[in-house]
Amino acid sequence: MSFKSVKEVEANVHEITLTIDAETFRAAIVKVYNKQKKSISVPGFRKGKVTLQMVEKLYGKGVFYEDALNDLYPAAVEEAVAASGVKADTAPYDANVVEIGDNGVEMTVKVATKPEVKIEGYKGLSAEKPAVEVKDEEIDHELDHLREQASRLVSVDDRAAKDGDTVTIDFEGFVDGVAFEGGKAESYDLVLGSGSFIPGFEEQIVGKSIGEEFDVNVKFPEEYVPELASKDAVFKCKLHKISVKELPELDDDFAKDLGEYDTLDELKAGIKKDITERKQQNADDAFENALREKLVEILEADIPEIFVDEAFQQNKDSFIQRFESQGISYQQYLQYTGMDEKVLDEQIREEAARQLKLRYALEKIAQLENIEVTDADVEAEYDKIATTYGIDLETVKKVAPVESIKADVAVQKAMQVVIDNAKAAKKKATKKKVAPKAADAEKEEKPAPKKKAAPKKKAPEKKTEDAE
């Protein structure tokens, strides 16, 4: 077995030609034959007694070529790649047999090398960063949410049911006088106006009083279960209870009940702080993501397609595993979402290519900035992973090699260099263009009449909206 030649067939992709001599190849064929001869059945011969030459005569000389080459391939290719001097960053791929037979084998394989990366201008990048502002309406909305969570149902018995009430009812449904399966319940709590039941049901309970028995007449929708779709139904109902939601007063006592604050003002300040932090984090994330996209744009590198193929497959496998861990197969996901697999694959591939470019960019920046990763950095990253995924620290260390962790930390530090040297631009508000009114356009084209014309009724002006 020997290395023959190497040539660059495209940027960072090398084709290596190697040979396997006739003697070595023939020995591999004999080895395969000896493994399989006990199972070879030929008329006139007992199993295991037919000769190699007879098998080749009956089935062709190439009968064992594939198995023999498979046995020799790993060592032959490893030897050839090493002899070529190419520092491959992929396993050999696109194996192609040029010649195979009595004279041995000649074949080619391809390997890809990590591309040379150039990136300039990564310091001083500019990206939009949303301004962080908390409006009173947002605080009020959060207060309303907290009051809803602390609300309780209070029974009322001095009036009829109305929209928004929670009513407790018994009901049983009939179609053509026959009760149907799933149409009966007792002491069922229903919020009137919630749209929980089929159209027309809840509206007919409005106005009914406690203890009243009544019929609700409805028609099942066309898209309902086949046995009931589009059919008229009668529900025999009895109203047992009417309840209303009672919200706590918005005062100091309410703030104290939450356990963190002593006054309503402190609660409002706490809510404002929480919303501010959340918005600030979102703004920081949006700013960083925008910078990441800019790094991808300014990266100069010829990335072999095989790297994108591998990144795509890793991302797709991870995508599928996430759903399978929740008991959903990949095909079920496609059915539920109506997503075309080819379209989804294209999306995953585009994202894989973007991630790959970003990684190359940040690795180059780490090199240019002479970024160092300390033992303390590595330990902190291990702790972070263990905490994030709820995994034992020692388990994380076993599955995540130190060199891999160092590379990840270096990339993180490189991104921080980009962020620290970037400029945050305020998001510009854009106004929608308003088409000129027909009447106004007409005025521009025609000269104004000398005589005073009858006044026209002015059309209401369109309002322009600032883009968020």
pLDDT digits (tens, 9 = 90+) for 9-23: 999 999 999 999 999
- In whole angstroms, what is the distance from residue 31 CA to residue 52 CA? 11
pLDDT tens by residue, 392-408: 999 999 999 999 999 99
Say what the pLDDT of residue 106 is. 97
Confidence (pTM): 0.71
Distance CA 215, CA 218 (A): 10
Q: Report pLDDT digits (tens) over 116-130.
A: 999 999 999 999 998
Domains of the chain with CATH codes? 2-112 (3.30.70.1050), 152-246 (3.10.50.40), 270-423 (1.10.3120.10)
**pLDDT classification of 45: cutoffs 50, 70, 90:** confident
Is the per-residue pLDDT at 439 higher than 50?
Answer: no
Q: Residue 41 has what pLDDT?
A: 79
Mean pLDDT on 213-220:
96
**Distance of alpha carbon 444 from alpha carbon 438, whole angstroms:** 10
Please report which confidence band the pLDDT of residue 465 belongs to, taking 50, 70 and 90 as the band edges: very low
Percentage of the chain surpassing pLDDT 70? 91
Among 47-56, 160-169, 197-206, 273-282, the range scoring the smallest mean pLDDT is 47-56
**Interatomic CA distance for residues 414 and 411, integer angstroms:** 5
Residue 152 pLDDT more than 50?
Answer: yes
For residue 438, pLDDT beyond 60: no
- Asked if the model's pLDDT at residue 295 lies above 80, the reply is yes
Lowest-pLDDT range of 44-58, 219-233, 281-295: 44-58
- Lowest pLDDT segment from 167-171, 247-251, 321-325: 321-325
Sequence-distant (6+) residues with CB within 8 A of 227 are: 180
DSSP-derived secondary structure for 291-353: HHHHHHHH-B----HHHHHHHHHHHHHHHHHHHHTTT--HHHHHHHHT--HHHHHHHHHHHHH
First CA to last CA distance, the chain: 67
Reported as a pLDDT band with limits 50, 70 and 90, residue 463 is very low
- State whether residue 134 is helix, strand or coil: coil
> Under the phi-then-psi rule, with left for phi > 0, alpha for psi from -120 to 50, and beta for the rest, what region is 316?
alpha
Q: Are 112 and 304 in contact (CB under 8 A)?
A: yes
Q: List 6's β-bridge partners, or say none.
A: 16
**Mean pLDDT calculated for residue range 42-46:** 76
Confidence (pLDDT) at 419? 97
Assess contact for 190 and 202: CB atoms under 8 A: yes
The burial of 399, by beta-carbon neighbours within 10 Å (0-12 exposed, 13-18 middle, 19 or more buried), is given as exposed
Structure-block tokens of residue 12: 């960072």
Give the contacts of 58 (CB within 8 A, at least 6 positions apart). 42
Mean pLDDT within 373-392: 94
Question: Taking 70 as the threshold, does the pLDDT of residue 136 lie above it?
Answer: yes
Provide, rounded to the nearest whole percent, the portion of the chain with pLDDT above 90.
Answer: 79
Instruction: Tell me the C-alpha distance between 303 and 353, whole Å.
Output: 9
Which pLDDT belongs to residue 345?
95
Query: Per residue in 76-90, pLDDT tens?
Result: 999 999 999 999 999
Task: Answer for the pair 362, 299: CB distance below 8 angstroms, yes or no.
Answer: no
What pLDDT was estimated at residue 428?
Answer: 61
CA-CA distance, 268 to 44, in Å (whole number)?
A: 96
pLDDT at 369 over 80: yes
Answer with the residue of higher pLDDT: 447 or 163: 163
Give the pLDDT score at 225: 87
pLDDT at 293: 96
Q: Exposed, middle or buried, 125 (CB in 10 Å: 0-12/13-18/19+)?
A: middle
